[in-house]
Amino acid sequence: MIELSGISKTFGQTTVLDDINLKVKAGSRTAIVGPSGSGKTTLLRILAGFEIPDGGHITLGDKVLFDQNTFIPAHERGIGFVPQEGALFPHMKVGDNIAYGLKGSKEENHLRVAELMELVSLDTRLASHWPHEISGGQQQRVALARALAQKPALMLLDEPFSALDTGLRAATRKATADLLEQAGVASILVTHDQQEALSFASQIAVIRHGRFTQVGSPVDVYSQPVDEETALFLGDALIFPAQVNGGVARCCLGDISVNNPQHTGERRIMLRPEQLMITAAHQQPTAIISEVDFTGHLSTLTLTAPGWPMALQVKTLSQQHWQKGAPVNVAVNGHACVLAA
Ligand code: ADP
Ligand code: MG
């Protein structure tokens, strides 16, 4: 539905976006995830029409929004935008914030505001409150309601949940995802939070220094990252040397089949910690627990063995018998990913 190709943007000497390509299907959810300063906000502002790219083109459906000869202004794009912060007008009541930009009569707008508030699960009595009188989560939903009021085909969300506490963040994220799905609105969420990206979207794009390093389904990008930096950015990873041949990696944990057998020779491979099954060993242990960092639900175990080139640190479910010096067996579930050199 929306398609970007070859989008680039430079501020002064700094290249902030470099050859960005992306397709988003109607009604789908995409997350763009990357560290702070990687160009996420700039990309959303370009899509919304608040910033002009140096080159490339953008189409929404069969309508060209931007190319060499075209620039459709923000208010004609049919794209909703919930900015990172300062989304609400502080001098306008909640109801007026939502009604901003509605073109109907006073009565019509009043009804539409109530409808929109219900849609985002806000008590309609909050309409007469000032933005500073409601919680961060409620403010976020007001901003979303205001953007939905324009009936956009595409919604852009710039780190919309980052100001919320962990529990509320997950709940608001789920509610927003459900809401956008019901409304049939496609969305692009940008975030530096990998869990948020993986859970929100059906497509994720990893951005680094203004370039997409990888675009794919959350499961694919998580389990088959293209390189070490992408692997580590998306979560905990065990990365170690292996000799790869014929679809099998020979390494300190034994022989592990790999999911990208086209890479061969001396390589580095990656496993996610949840792929390791650690069990107490009575005879012939694979390794010894040399350290335990207990954090409640999860513990980080440092495992060592005489034949290993390095210690492995594995975050795993806590068990009472995980103690320093305990012998363990380590088995591997699933495939390893061979990382690009
Ligand atoms: P993110 O949202 O991923 O944190 P941004 O898109 O906000 O990243 O910024 C990417 C880079 O572009 C940063 O180095 C930032 O300083 C720079 N930048 C953003 N907007 C401007 C601007 N208007 N003028 C100059 N530099 C900018
Ligand atoms: Mg930003």
pLDDT tens track for 107-149: 999 999 999 998 888 899 999 999 999 988 888 889 989 988 8
Position 310 confidence tier, pLDDT thresholds 50, 70, 90:
confident
39 in ligand 1 pocket by Cβ < 6 Å? yes
Q: Using alpha carbons only, what angle is made at residue 278 by residues 273 and 279, rounded to the nearest 5 degrees?
A: 165
Check pLDDT > 90 for residue 169.
no
162 vs 2 pLDDT, higher one: 2
30 in ligand 1 pocket by Cβ < 6 Å? no
What 8-state DSSP symbol labels residue 150? T
16 in ligand 1 pocket by Cβ < 6 Å? yes
| Residue identifier of the C-alpha nearest atom 21 of ligand 1 | 11
User: Is the torsion defined by CA of 317, 320, 321, 322 positive or negative?
Assistant: positive
User: H/E/C letters for each residue in 46-112?
Assistant: HHHCCCCCCEEEEEECCEEEEECCEECCHHHCCEEEECCCCCCCCCCCHHHHHHCCCCCCHHHHHHH
Enter the tokens of residue 185.
Answer: 């609105």
Which pLDDT value is given to residue 217?
97
Ligand 1 pocket: which of 11, 46, 156 to mutate (most atoms within 8 A of CB): 11
267 in ligand 1 pocket by Cβ < 6 Å? no
Helix (H) or strand (E) holding 39: none
Per-domain boundaries in the chain: 2-223, 236-338
Report helix, strand or coil for 51.
coil
Position 86 confidence tier, pLDDT thresholds 50, 70, 90:
low
Task: Enumerate the β-bridge partners of residue 327.
Answer: 288
Q: Mean pLDDT: which of 214-218, 275-279, 303-307 is highest?
A: 214-218
210 in ligand 1 pocket by Cβ < 6 Å? no
C-alpha of residue 32 to centroid of ligand 2, in Å: 11
Q: Which CATH class is domain 236-338?
A: mainly beta
Average confidence (pLDDT) over 308-337: 91
Superfamily holding 2-223: P-loop containing nucleotide triphosphate hydrolases (3.40.50.300)
| Residue identifier of the C-alpha nearest atom 19 of ligand 1 | 42
Query: How many Cβ atoms from other residues are within 10 Å of residue 130's Cβ?
Result: 14
Which pLDDT value is given to residue 167?
79
Ligand 1 pocket: which of 10, 14, 16, 190 to mutate (most atoms within 8 A of CB): 16
Report which bound ligand comes closest to the CA of 40: 1
- Closest-CA residue to 298 (of 314, 279, 276, 287): 314
| Residue identifier of the C-alpha nearest atom 12 of ligand 1 | 16
34-43, 159-168, 185-194, 261-270: range with lowest mean pLDDT: 159-168
| Residue identifier of the C-alpha nearest atom 6 of ligand 1 | 39
191 in ligand 1 pocket by Cβ < 6 Å? no
Enter the tokens of residue 123.
Answer: 């008590």
180-184, 217-221, 247-251: range with lowest mean pLDDT: 180-184
Percent of the chain residues topping a pLDDT of 90: 71
The edge-to-edge listing of strands for the beta sheet with 70-71 is 14-24, 2-11, 55-60, 63-67, 70-71
C-alpha of residue 230 to centroid of ligand 1, in Å: 21
Which pLDDT value is given to residue 305?
92
| Residue identifier of the C-alpha nearest atom 14 of ligand 1 | 37
Which pLDDT value is given to residue 87?
78
38 in ligand 1 pocket by Cβ < 6 Å? yes
- Closest-CA residue to 317 (of 299, 291, 294): 299
pTM of the predicted protein model? 0.87
151 vs 189 pLDDT, higher one: 189
- Closest-CA residue to 22 (of 206, 199, 215): 215
C-alpha of residue 204 to centroid of ligand 2, in Å: 17
Contacts of 322 (CB under 8 A, 6+ apart): 278, 289, 292, 299, 301, 316
Given a contact cutoff of 8 angstroms between Cβ atoms, the answer to whether 185 and 25 are in contact is no
- In Å, the largest CA–CA distance within the chain is 80
Check pLDDT > 90 for residue 85.
no
Q: How far apart are CA 323 and CA 326, in angstroms?
A: 6
The residue written with tokens 């009021």 in the block is 149
